[in-house]
Structure formats: structure tokens, C-alpha cells
Amino acid sequence: MKGFTHGLVLALFLVAAIVCYAIGLPSGAAGFVLAGIAFEGLFWFGILGRKRNSKAQP
């Protein structure tokens, strides 16, 4: 279930970024463009994320 919710949240971040870009770019609204950049960053951070060490730390 954790993988499903993680994927759902990532999809929502991507959709939010696309919507913000679609609203902000034609109208020149910098706030929507910046929000789109933020949502896209959250999406890519969620996809690439931090590498986890597979060995247990003593």
C-alpha cells in the first residue's frame, strides 16, 4: 500500500505542476510558474529521491 500512495502523491505533484504551468505561462503569472517549478521539483525528488544504504548501520 505504501508504494501505491507514494505513486499517487507523485502523480498529483506532476498534475499540479502541469496545471500551474498551463495557467501561469500564457498569462505571465509568475506565482503560478514558481508553484509549477516547486511541484515539479517535488515530483523529481520523489522519483529520484535519496539513495538508501542497503547495509544495516551498526
Domain-by-domain residue ranges, the chain?
Answer: 2-48
User: Does pTM surpass 0.85?
Assistant: no
Residue 54 has pLDDT above 80, yes or no: no
Cα–Cα distance between 7 and 12 in angstroms, integer? Answer: 9
Q: What is the pLDDT of residues 28-48, one digit of tens each?
A: 889 889 999 999 998 988 888
